[in-house]
């Protein structure tokens, strides 16, 4: 084994500052996230939501005196709304229909609402909802009663499914028990466990972080080097080199092109235009805000394929240096990924421009998209390390990667909606990390909603796992690189 | 002054070379599974030990393939020895071959900083030394021209200037002094002498015995990976026969 003593002249590093910065950043992020995630941190669409069964028949013509009653149970913590599907006999109807919801636990009226029968269309829904969600309806038997004051020949009919059957559900038409289920749906929200305990989580992780900082500080004081301190020393020592290499990549990329840096944002813009034309006119897709949907996909995937493609050759391409000067070898793939990050940030400009032009409103949740982009960066770095190491030993890697990245592109919903995938291929999306990053980036920007807390954790773990695998393989093999270059 | 800069302890460097490097994946897997992968062991260095004191200029001589370059790579940290240890106290600056570490699309100025960064110098230090480097290289206005337009002589000047104008603690020179015109050669030799006088430890590889005699205080003669002879310049050079 060899030891490289640090030269005595090296400036003593100040470890207090970075540690304080880490602690401060954590506190700021905890509050920022709480504010940005908003309601989605606390509630999600209830898993107990009841879906509309397929309509198979009408129940009864709902004239004055007729009553349809459906008893049901729903595991919804914050009950918000009930909808009923109607048939109209394809004729104009008149009168008023009334929906009432009772809780059978104490026989109280929970909500009620009346609708104009004339406004109901065939297969249409009437939805009654409350402003303050009902928190007492969880698992309690509920009674939905529907009646009207219409005259025969001008009355609508609630639809039902004859074949559906659910435990604890019973349908009564004009007092007579009937087989089947009324075509109705119920929805609400559930509390998110992590959201309820957000501050406890934040404090717990904060405590762990504080312990970690104290540990590092203690080791440092007693003159021992922990991993963290070593990393800080490396950052300080190689900061200048990393900056030089990144600026080299960037300068040489557009050298001798007339438009120079402009290409960084013209490129995704032009690609978007072509694909927008192809998929919105030829293949007719009906995704809302398709231009932005497409651009988010293009920008993310461009970054991914550029970062991985450049890392792939980073060790081989710098063979001349690696065999002459000692520099930690991870610097080479790292700087390649970093220059791609610079490109990524530039290509966010057209994304913002196109959003403004097409009228996509940025909500505060758009900031959270940065989290998923950061996950993508970490993931790409991990994969880049893996690829660059593998490329040294098997030159076939670059050809395989060419095919593989193309397959990966098609397996990611960049320009198509995820709904076009048949059910049996759905698993491809589930196992595709890019899909998760992309889906949530889009959700933050396009829907203005934050994904539920678990999704953040999931994406973070995926990215970190890839980085760990890449870094381990790289570390294990790096000593042998020079023999194969 | 007698501070040890480099300690090489019983270093052995073995390479494994496949009998046939180009084989199909299927063949590779099947032979590997049968445990019949054969390697030719090639020993580039065998039980080499020596120390270098601060301010010494150590010459390395030997035939092609004697292990000189491998030894330099082990010392500069590029390769890990199969056996034995190397301890280096100070920063090692290799004098780069023409072009390696340079980016041909960048200007001379940008390359000075890029190269300086690769050699491990800080930004402040390079900014401070930049004028000195420029003056020494005598490139003048050419410094702002992309170096793909440089002649090989100009490239060599730039490379030497960056490596030598900064004050490395250990400088590794692998056959480089024969570049540039006569005038620049004389100048770079003078600079080397100056560096050595200023306490820089130099490892010097050359086939030119004249140069070795002129510059080195001690010489090691390598022969197929072993130290054939080590000692004062005069003594070793007199015994060295090709």
For residue range A233-250, list pLDDT tens digits in order.
888 888 899 999 998 888
Q: State whether ipTM is beyond 0.85.
A: no
- Report pLDDT for B193: 79
Give me the helix-helix angle, B108-118 and B123-137, nearest 10°.
Answer: 130
- Domains in chain A and their CATH numbers? 57-191 (2.60.120), 238-483 (no CATH)
Residues 250-269 of A with CB under 8 A from B: 251-252, 255-256
Q: What is the mean pLDDT of residues A337-349?
A: 91
* Number of residues in chain A: 485
Partners of residue B52 on adjacent β-strands:
B6
Residue B97's pLDDT band (cuts 50, 70, 90) = low
Give yes or no for residue A16 having a pLDDT over 90: no
- Report pLDDT for B36: 63
pLDDT in tens, B30-42: 777 776 666 677 8
Q: Which residues from chain A sit within 8 angstroms of residue B77, using beta carbons?
A: 2, 4, 326
Residue B98's pLDDT band (cuts 50, 70, 90) = low
Give yes or no for residue A420 having a pLDDT over 70: yes
- Domains in chain B and their CATH numbers? 4-241 (3.40.50.300)
Q: For A326, which of B77, B89, B99 is closest by C-beta distance?
A: B77
- Report pLDDT for A1: 36
Of A197, A157, A136, give the one whose Cα is nearest residue A59: A157
- Report pLDDT for A473: 95
Count CB pairs under 8 A between chains A and B. 87
- CB atoms inside a 10 Å sphere around CB B50: 15
pLDDT in tens, B184-212: 778 877 887 787 777 888 888 888 888 88
- CB atoms inside a 10 Å sphere around CB A142: 22
Is-above-0.90 flag for pTM? no
- Report pLDDT for B38: 64
CA distance B226 to B220: 10
- Report pLDDT for A12: 61
Whether chain B has a CB inside 8 Å of the CB on A240: the answer is yes
pLDDT in tens, B140-179: 888 888 888 888 888 888 888 887 777 788 888 876 556 6
Q: Which residues from chain A sit within 8 angstroms of residue B74, using beta carbons?
A: 2
Mutation site, A234, A326, A331, A336, interface B, largest B CB count within 10 A:
A326
> Beta strands of B63-190 (E only): which ranges?
83-89, 92-94, 170-174
Q: What is the mean pLDDT of residues A416-443?
A: 90
Q: What is the mean pLDDT of residues A13-37?
A: 88
Residue A377's pLDDT band (cuts 50, 70, 90) = very high
pLDDT in tens, A152-194: 888 899 999 888 888 888 898 888 888 889 999 999 988 888 8
Of A444, A455, A440, give the one whose Cα is nearest residue A355: A444
Q: What is the mean pLDDT of residues A291-313?
A: 92
CA A460, A462, A468, A474 dihedral sign is: negative
Q: Which residues from chain A sit within 8 angstroms of residue B80, using beta carbons?
A: 1-2, 479
- Report pLDDT for B104: 82
CA distance B168 to B76: 13
Tell me which range, A411-420, A468-477, B138-147, is most confidently predicted by mean pLDDT.
Answer: A468-477
Give yes or no for residue A225 having a pLDDT over 90: no
- Report pLDDT for A3: 42
Give yes or no for residue A4 having a pLDDT over 60: no
- Report pLDDT for B175: 66
Whether chain B has a CB inside 8 Å of the CB on A422: the answer is no
Chain B contacts to A (CB-CB under 8 A): 15, 25, 73-74, 76-81, 85-92, 94, 96-97, 99-101, 103, 105-106, 110, 113-114, 117-123, 169
Backbone angles phi, psi at B223, to 5 degrees: -135, 120
Residue B117's pLDDT band (cuts 50, 70, 90) = confident
CA distance A101 to A201: 38
Whether chain B has a CB inside 8 Å of the CB on A10: the answer is no
């Amino acid at each position: 084994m060899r030891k490289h003593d640090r030269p005595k002249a090296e400036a003593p590093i100040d470890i207090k500052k970075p540690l304080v910065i880490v602690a401060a950043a954590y506190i700021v992020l905890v509050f920022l996230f709480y504010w940005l995630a908003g309601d989605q941190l606390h509630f999600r669409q209830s898993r107990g939501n009841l879906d509309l069964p397929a309509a198979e028949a009408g129940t009864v013509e709902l004239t004055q005196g007729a009553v349809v009653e459906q008893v049901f149970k729903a595991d919804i913590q914050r009950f918000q709304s009930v909808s009923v599907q109607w048939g109209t006999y394809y004729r104009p109807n008149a009168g008023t229909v009334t929906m009432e919801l009772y809780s059978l636990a104490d026989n109280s009226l929970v909500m009620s609402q009346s609708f104009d029968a004339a406004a109901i269309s065939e297969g249409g829904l009437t939805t009654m909802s409350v402003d303050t969600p009902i928190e007492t309806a969880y698992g309690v038997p509920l009674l939905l009663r529907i009646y009207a004051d219409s005259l025969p020949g001008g009355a609508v009919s609630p639809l039902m499914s004859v074949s559906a059957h659910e435990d604890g559900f019973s349908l009564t038409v004009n007092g007579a028990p009937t087989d089947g289920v009324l075509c109705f749906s119920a929805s609400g929200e559930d509390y998110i466990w992590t959201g309820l305990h957000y501050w406890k989580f934040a404090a717990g992780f904060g405590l762990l972080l504080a312990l970690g900082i104290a540990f590092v500080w203690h080791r440092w004081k007693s003159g021992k080097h922990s991993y963290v301190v070593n990393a800080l020393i490396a950052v300080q020592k190689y900061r200048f080199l990393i900056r030089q290499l990144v600026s080299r990549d960037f300068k040489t990329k557009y050298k001798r092109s007339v438009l120079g840096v402009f290409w960084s944002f013209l490129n995704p813009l032009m690609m978007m235009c072509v694909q927008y034309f192809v998929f919105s006119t030829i293949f007719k897709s009906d995704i809302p805000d398709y231009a932005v949907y497409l651009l988010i996909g293009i920008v993310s995937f461009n970054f991914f394929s550029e970062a991985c493609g450049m890392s792939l050759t980073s060790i081989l391409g710098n063979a001349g240096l690696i065999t002459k000067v000692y520099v930690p070898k991870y610097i080479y793939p790292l700087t390649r990924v970093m220059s791609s990050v610079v490109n990524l940030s530039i290509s966010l400009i057209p994304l913002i421009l196109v959003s403004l032009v097409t009228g996509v409103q940025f909500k505060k949740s758009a900031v959270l998209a940065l989290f998923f982009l950061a996950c993508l960066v970490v993931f790409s770095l991990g994969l880049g390390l893996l690829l660059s190491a593998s490329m040294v030993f098997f030159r076939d890697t670059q050809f395989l990667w060419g095919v593989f990245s193309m397959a990966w592109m098609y397996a990611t919903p960049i320009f198509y909606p995820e709904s076009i995938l048949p059910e049996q291929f759905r698993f491809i999306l589930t196992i595709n990390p890019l899909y998760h990053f992309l889906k949530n980036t889009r959700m933050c920007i396009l829907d203005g909603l934050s994904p539920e807390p678990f999704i953040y954790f999931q994406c973070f773990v995926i990215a970190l796992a890839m980085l760990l695998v890449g870094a381990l393989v790289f570390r294990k093999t790096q000593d042998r690189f020079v023999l194969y270059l | 002054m007698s501070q040890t800069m480099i300690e090489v302890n019983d270093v052995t460097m073995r390479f494994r070379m496949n009998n046939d490097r180009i084989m199909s994946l299927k063949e590779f897997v099947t032979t590997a599974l049968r445990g019949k992968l054969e390697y030719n062991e090639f020993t580039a260095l065998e039980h080499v030990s020596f120390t270098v004191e601060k301010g010494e200029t150590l010459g390395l001589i030997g035939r092609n393939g004697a292990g000189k370059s491998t030894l330099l790579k082990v010392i500069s940290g590029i390769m890990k020895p199969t056996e034995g240890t190397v301890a280096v106290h100070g920063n090692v600056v290799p004098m780069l071959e023409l072009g390696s570490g340079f980016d041909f699309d960048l200007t001379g100025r940008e390359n000075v900083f890029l190269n300086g960064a690769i050699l491990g110098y800080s930004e402040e230090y390079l900014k401070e030394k930049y004028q000195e480097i420029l003056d020494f290289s005598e490139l003048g206005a050419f410094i702002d021209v992309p170096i793909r337009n440089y002649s090989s002589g100009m490239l060599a000047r730039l490379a030497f200037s960056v490596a030598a104008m900064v004050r490395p603690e250990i400088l590794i020179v692998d056959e480089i002094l024969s570049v540039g015109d006569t005038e620049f050669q004389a100048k770079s030799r003078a600079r080397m002498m100056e560096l050595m006088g200023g306490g820089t430890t130099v490892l010097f590889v050359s086939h030119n015995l004249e140069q070795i005699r002129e510059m080195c205080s001690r010489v090691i003669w390598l022969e197929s990976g072993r130290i054939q002879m080590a000692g004062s310049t005069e003594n070793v050079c007199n015994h060295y026969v090709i």
